[in-house]
A = this chain, B = another copy of it.
Amino acid sequence: MSFHVAIAGATGVVGAEFLSILAERAFPMRSLRLMASARSAGKRMEVGEQTVEVEDLAEADFTGVDVAFFSAGSAQQEHARRAAAQGALVVDNSSAFRMDPDVPLVVPEVNAAAAATHEGIIANPNCSTIILVAVLAPLEQHVPIKRVVVSTYQAVSGSGAAALTELETQAQAEQEGRPLEAEVYPTAIHANVIPFVQAFDDGDLTTEEWKMVRETQRILDRPDLAVSATCVRVPVKRAHSEAVNIEFDDEVRPDDVRAWLAAAPGVAVVDDPATVSFPTPRDASGGDDVLVGRIRRDPGRPHAIDLWLTADQLRKGAALNAVQIAESVLGVQDPATA
């Protein structure tokens, strides 16, 4: 069993992760097509031993494609629909379909069964949300969660390659005493933190904050769950982190949380105050697991737990999760459990 695969948005930072992850996991590919905007069409990319020419996504015919990974932005949703209509299983990384009741929103470790109802398109959730629900779901299985308050520390690669360049250019400018210029972000990100991700939306929350609220509720199938999110960009290249306060319906001991998370798929506990151990985004970069530490009782609330998590948002937060969705739906064995 092997598949004809397409990657739409192949030239972006997430596109590069798709290529790495498909190779690492030895995803059974019969053929691979790469697509991007007209600007990148014709570009040749090395993939393993072969050279693949990038096609113009707007012109691409998806007939014969078994699975198409889209990481091309919400503006390309018509092409995702077209790919699905032409018979491909589309796993879409944009926010276009995530709240569409006809499109499943899936984190395989959490709600793999939801994918079964798909009609050609499955939505990959927001990166900050994926890594949060990977930790909330195994806890919710044991004791219902009442409320979540989360503050994020998000890496600049979440904004694409231009943001990585902007961070480096600003660092260089500061070293040389030149003024810092900002284009990707509204102000300097070098040696700064920016409490604003993407755009403002209803109620003066950002779009990123609403995604964390609504997608978390949807994936956990808990439309009533109280979620507060503050999304903040930090001068980290790779891996998002989150400080999370979780209030449960009943008492939960930190040791229970450690045990439940240690047993959870896709999660690794790195938490030992005696040896000053906790996970940082540098530790998570390039890895598959959501790393969790600083697990402790909230001194102000008997039923609440504080914890810290960090994960590579280009992998588990994007390309890895999308590939895992495809593996789950296509019946490809997860190499981690093989």
Q: A residues within 8 Å of B by Cβ? A: 147-149, 151, 153, 171, 186-188, 191-196, 200, 203-205, 210, 213, 225-228, 230, 232, 234-237, 241, 243, 245, 254, 273, 276, 278-282, 293-301, 304, 306, 308
A294-B230 in contact (CB<8A): yes
A282-B241 in contact (CB<8A): no
Q: Shortest Cβ distance from A148 into chain B, in angstroms?
A: 8
Residues of B near A300 (CB, < 8 A) are 147-148, 213, 225-228
Q: Shortest Cβ distance from A109 into chain B, in angstroms?
A: 23
Q: Shortest Cβ distance from A218 into chain B, in angstroms?
A: 14
B273-A153 in contact (CB<8A): no
Nearest chain B residue, comparing its CB with the CB of A254:
B204
Residues of B near A227 (CB, < 8 A) are 299-300
Which listed residue (B149, B193, B234) contacts A245, Cβ 8 A?
Answer: B149
Q: Shortest Cβ distance from A22 into chain B, in angstroms?
A: 27
Q: Shortest Cβ distance from A167 into chain B, in angstroms?
A: 8
Nearest chain B residue, comparing its CB with the CB of A299:
B213
A245-B228 in contact (CB<8A): yes
Q: Shortest Cβ distance from A330 into chain B, in angstroms?
A: 36
Residues of B near A187 (CB, < 8 A) are 280, 282
Give the complex CA separation of A241 and B235 in angstroms.
14
Residues of B near A186 (CB, < 8 A) are 276
B280-A228 in contact (CB<8A): no
Residues of B near A171 (CB, < 8 A) are 171
Residues of B near A306 (CB, < 8 A) are 228, 230
Give the complex CA separation of A309 and B336 in angstroms.
43
Given contacts A230-B306, A294-B204, contact A281 B192 (CB under 8 A): yes
Which listed residue (B203, B213, B301, B308) contacts A228, Cβ 8 A?
Answer: B301
Give the complex CA separation of A95 and B102 in angstroms.
57
Residues of B near A297 (CB, < 8 A) are 203
